[in-house]
Structure 1
Amino acid sequence: MPRVLIVEDNDADRDALSRRLVRQGFEIAVAMDGAGAIERARMESPDLILLDWSLPVIESGEAARRLKADPGTQSIPIIALTAQGAADEAERALDAGCNDVDTKPIDLPRLLSKINRALGLPDRVRTLHTPPRGGG
């Protein structure tokens, strides 16, 4: 099961995205700022990092540059999450070493397609079977 590190300082956004990805079969680790992203990535070696592009402590671009400069984390794909319509943010994210960019609000099928591509998985939304409720 692929492990995704979600780096997001907004509790509601982080929790919602975590729940949605867990339902798609991913293991989730979280960090709330750029410094936490670097620390968690080094400790846990996630398969992919989703990096909010507006982070405190160590800003997102600096966190991405440090992750890509570190031999222990440089091969981890990073998808930056930017504000919709912020083309300059997307360009800065790619310049900092991010592998891809997606926009907020999150469109789950589109984001899953990017995650799957970055991980070399089939491009499809995973559907997990949930047994019917009740007896019988």
Structure 2
Amino acid sequence: MLNDILVARGFETQKVDDPGNALALVRQQRSDLMLVSLEFPDEGGLELIRSIKSDPKLKNTMPVIVVSDFASSAEMKLLHQSDCYDVITKPVDLSQLFSAVEGCLGLRAS
């Protein structure tokens, strides 16, 4: 659903439903940012973020926005320590989503 909303807003997207495939994709081709769901099985979303942030080729070039049904205070702390750009909880406030995406891409109005 968020993919469709971002496409309708004019963004180019690629949807990947598996953390392993997502990591392989961003290692093969550059992306401007990544939206990551924490709802992957077996902590896949958190592990994906850790992998991105520990990869020297990605950690400073791949902003990550996390989307989650619920993020506990411990998860929020971990995510911010992982240098995630933003954490958005569901139901998603579209203005918050657009602001975060545009901020990552340097598209905010001055």
RMSD (Å), alpha carbons: 1.9
- TM-score normalized with structure 2 length: 0.84
Distance in 1 separating the partners of 2:21 and 2:43:
9
Q: Which residue of 1 aligns with 2:96?
A: 110
User: What is the CA deviation profile of residues 6-58 of structure 1, one whole-angstrom value per residue up to 9, with x for unaligned ones?
Assistant: xxxxxxxxxx1111101111001111122122111112211010000121366
- Of the two, which has the highest radius of gyration? 1
Deviation at 1:83, TM superposition (A): 2.0
- When residues 58 and 93 of structure 1 are mapped into structure 2, their CA distance, relative to the original with a 3 A threshold, is same
**Corresponding residue of 2:38:** 53
Distance 1:72 1:37 in 2: 15
**Change beyond 3 A, Cα 1:96–1:33:** farther
Which residue in the other structure is 1:22 paired with? 7
Counterpart amino acid of residue 53 in structure 1: L
DSSP-derived class of the 1:29 partner? coil
- Structure 2: which 5+ residue stretches go unaligned? none
Work out the percentage of aligned pairs sharing the same amino acid: 31
Amino acid at match of 2:38: W
Segments of 5+ residues of structure 1 without an aligned counterpart are 1-15, 124-136
Structure in which a larger fraction of residues adopt strand: 1
| 1:33 and 1:55 in contact (8 A); partners too | yes
- Other structure's SS at 2:89 match: strand
Aligned residues: 108
Contact kept? 1:54, 1:60, Cα under 8 Å:
yes
- Give, as a single letter, the amino acid of the residue that structure 2 aligns with 1:61: L
Of residues 39, 42, 46 in structure 1, which corresponds to 2:27?
42
TM-score by length of 1: 0.70
1:34/1:19 CA distance change after superposition, 3 Å = same
CA distance in 2, matches of 1:85, 1:42: 27
> Is the 8 Å Cα contact of residues 100 and 114 (structure 1) preserved in structure 2?
yes
What aligned pairs does 1:87-98 form with structure 2 within 5 A after superposition?
87-98=73-84
* Cα shift at 1:84: 4.2
Structure holding more helix per residue: 2
